[in-house]
């Protein structure tokens, strides 16, 4: 009798496990949040290491390297019409690895590499007249691989490579056409990092220093000219928030949408397509849907005033790119769009 009962018990357990297994299989996988939408291809030649900035709802992309030559052509992207227009050619030397930012309704491009030497000149683009005007040379040494952003219509440029890795930091006042040296970046010397601005504060992270990919992350307070260390972008704490961090890289892009920052693409020996969202309120990063274009490095990104963000150009080991992708961080992932 006991043996019979045991057989029944084993049978009931087996049936229960089978039902649980079926229930688990029927559970839908969690929806991926963040959707990439391919837009109308960049109309210039495919390239990497371009410069970009945005003014209002228009993005601007130009200069760079097409695999054979450095370039001076420049293009504007109308996000409302999803269309590109060629604008006046950049008037400085053809270059790659320059920086770009906008301030006071004008665009600025400077520094970079012309194939033979590093450059320190700076140029202003006026969209009203479609003209470029040379401005005061960058206050620091000629360099490439720097970062740039603007806060309250003051441009900031720093870090990069002039034959040595750098951490100096400079402010440009368009009204006086002057450069002022500020407190140097709070972390290590770096090149090919990313910079972005949230709520009037500048941020710098990623990049490389003498072959080592940087884990540091700093916020710049322009009112007090100080750098404040934030949590590192690698798994270095005893807490759980950073256990899955794979943010470290160089030659990535960064952009901001609705008060949160995003880092995507780039390289850490191999190309990266993961996307990370930074919330300044918690000082924590989380993953979003991977970049849906071909994996790449040396791309550019820009965000328009209507909080639309785009990633375009770049390169893989074999190709230069001319596609453009818009990122919707709060939309559910859709494979075919």
208 in a structural domain: yes
Task: Please check whether residue 189 is in contact with residue 209, taking contact to mean a CB–CB distance below 8 angstroms.
Answer: yes
Classify strands 99-103 and 74-78 as parallel, antiparallel or unpaired. Answer: unpaired
8 in a structural domain: no
Extract the tokens encoding 215: 């884990």
Its domain, for residue 79, covers 34-332
16 in a structural domain: no
1 in a structural domain: no
42 in a structural domain: yes
Which pLDDT does position 30 carry in this prediction?
A: 62
13 in a structural domain: no
7 in a structural domain: no
Measured at the CA of 36, the angle between CA 267 and CA 302, to 5 degrees, comes to 65
Domain at 136, CATH number = 2.120.10.80
The answer, yes or no, to whether residue 213 has pLDDT greater than 60, is yes
Encode pLDDT of 21-40 as tens digits: 444 444 455 668 999 999 99
Task: Give the Å distances, CA to CA, from 269 to 95, 103, 212.
Answer: 24, 35, 11
Q: What are the helix (H) ranges across the chain?
A: 2-26
pTM value is 0.91
Task: Please check whether residue 298 is in contact with residue 291, taking contact to mean a CB–CB distance below 8 angstroms.
Answer: no
28 in a structural domain: no
**Per-residue confidence at 334, pLDDT binned at 50, 70, 90?**
confident
Number of domains in the chain: 1
Extract the tokens encoding 51: 């410069």
Task: Please check whether residue 320 is in contact with residue 293, taking contact to mean a CB–CB distance below 8 angstroms.
Answer: no
């Amino acid at each position: 009798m006991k043996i019979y009962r045991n057989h029944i018990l084993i049978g009931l357990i087996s049936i229960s496990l089978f039902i649980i297994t079926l229930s688990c299989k029927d559970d839908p996988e969690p929806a991926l949040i963040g959707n990439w939408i391919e837009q109308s291809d960049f109309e210039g030649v495919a390239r990497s290491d371009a410069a970009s900035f945005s003014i209002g709802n228009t993005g601007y992309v130009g200069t760079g390297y097409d695999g054979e030559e450095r370039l001076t052509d420049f293009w504007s992207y109308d996000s409302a019409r999803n269309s590109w227009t060629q604008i006046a050619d950049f008037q400085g030397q053809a270059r790659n690895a320059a920086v770009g930012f906008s301030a006071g309704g004008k665009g600025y491009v400077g520094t970079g590499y012309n194939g033979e030497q590093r450059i320190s000149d700076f140029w202003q683009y006026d969209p009203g007249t479609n003209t470029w005007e040379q401005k005061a040379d960058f206050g620091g040494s000629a360099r490439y691989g720097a970062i740039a952003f603007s806060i309250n219509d003051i441009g900031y440029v720093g870090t990069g490579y002039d034959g040595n890795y750098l951490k100096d930091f400079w402010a440009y006042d368009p009204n006086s056409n002057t450069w002022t040296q500020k407190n140097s970046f709070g972390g290590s010397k770096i090149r090919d990092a990313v910079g972005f601005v949230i709520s009037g504060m500048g941020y710098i992270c990623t990049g490389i220093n003498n072959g080592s990919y940087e884990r540091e992350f700093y916020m710049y307070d322009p009112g007090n000219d100080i750098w404040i260390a934030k949590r590192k972008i690698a798994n270095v704490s005893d807490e759980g928030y950073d256990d899955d961090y794979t943010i470290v890289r160089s030659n990535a892009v960064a952009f901001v949408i609705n008060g949160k920052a995003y880092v995507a693409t780039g390289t850490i020996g191999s190309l990266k397509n993961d996307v990370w969202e930074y919330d300044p309120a918690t000082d924590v990063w989380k993953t979003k849907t991977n970049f849906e274009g071909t994996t790449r490095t040396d791309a550019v990104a820009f965000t328009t005033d209507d909080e639309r963000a785009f990633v375009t150009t770049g390169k893989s080991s074999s190709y230069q790119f001319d596609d453009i992708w818009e990122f919707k961080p709060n939309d559910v992932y859709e494979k075919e769009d």
